[in-house]
Amino acid sequence: MSLSGAPSRPVTAVAWASSGTTCPGHFSLISMTEDGTTASFTRGFPPKSGYYLCYSKDLSGGMVVSDVQVISDKDTIPHGYCYIPEFMESKASVWKKKRVCVRIVPVESVTTAILDIRLTTKSKMMLQQYTCLGDMLGYVLWYMKGPFSTPVPQAKPRSISLDMRSLSLEAAGPPLPLRPSNQPPAPPKVSPRRSTLKEKDTRAETFNDSLNVYGITAMDGVPFALHPKFESQSNGKGSVVKLDDICIKSIHDIENEYHYTFAVEEMAAKRSRPLMTSKS
């Protein structure tokens, strides 16, 4: 990667990996430094199997690395930061005297993020447009930070059938005749005896349905007719019922007509009541 072509996609994760086999598929392994040496971190003497720094730019998780720092084991990890994960082989470990920690935030919450991470050996080599993080086991860590862009999702081309292509907003022409494959199926032939049985079954079902819905009452089959008293009134057109014989009474008239004193009940109660005599 040349310095002139600065990447625009943000770094979404940083990790340690023992080799290319332990490095996750969506991570990029930093196997070489900018001055052409192997970027394998080793410690101790004689040197043991090393490990590499790797990073990812997979935006499927919706998170980006907004900042990265190198701190010593005596420093307290800054608030909001976390140590990078380790994809190591069995019995392999990472040097703990200095550790890399990152700050991971949602992609929509920031406008700038870490765009690239590179390594150099301990020399006077400087990387333009990059910021120095610090030295670690003989290497110097650099990072580039700036505004980033997310890839625009592209719609997948969809296949359009011939029937859909033939649709148009213009006026449609005369309907095409049906093809033999589109003709409706002919009704099955039924023998006369079978047709008669089917008709009887249909009538029976109709009768049963009427019984279930309405039921049978004693008035079924009885013709409707008016009483002879009202036939004369119904035959005359525009006849008016006279209500002259109706007397409308007031509340005072009703109370006088149905006034009852309960005198009979009072006399009966006096006769049946035993006489009370006083004893001297």
In a domain, 275, yes or no: no
- Give the pLDDT confidence of 139-170 residue by residue, as tens digits: 999 999 999 877 655 556 665 555 565 555 55
Tally of domains within the chain: 2
In a domain, 202, yes or no: no
**Predicted TM-score of the model (pTM):** 0.52
Same domain, 233 and 142: no
Phi, psi (deg, nearest 5) at residue 131: -110, 135
Calculate mean pLDDT across residues 189-206: 60
Same domain, 233 and 132: no
Q: Is 90 exceeded by the pLDDT of residue 81?
A: yes
In a domain, 154, yes or no: no
Q: Is 50 exceeded by the pLDDT of residue 58?
A: yes
Cα separation, 40 vs 43, in Å, equals: 10
Mind spelling out the 3-state secondary structure of 54-70? Answer: EEECCHHHCEEEEEEEE
Cα separation, 96 vs 100, in Å, equals: 9
Same domain, 25 and 138: yes
Identify the domain containing residue 233 by its residue range.
228-268
In a domain, 234, yes or no: yes
Q: Of residues 1 and 125, which shows the higher confidence score?
A: 125
DSSP track, 137-185: TTEEEEEEEEE--PPPPPPPP----HHHHT--SSPP-SPPPPPGGGSPP
In a domain, 182, yes or no: no
- Give the pLDDT confidence of 63-77 residue by residue, as tens digits: 999 999 999 989 999
Same domain, 141 and 244: no
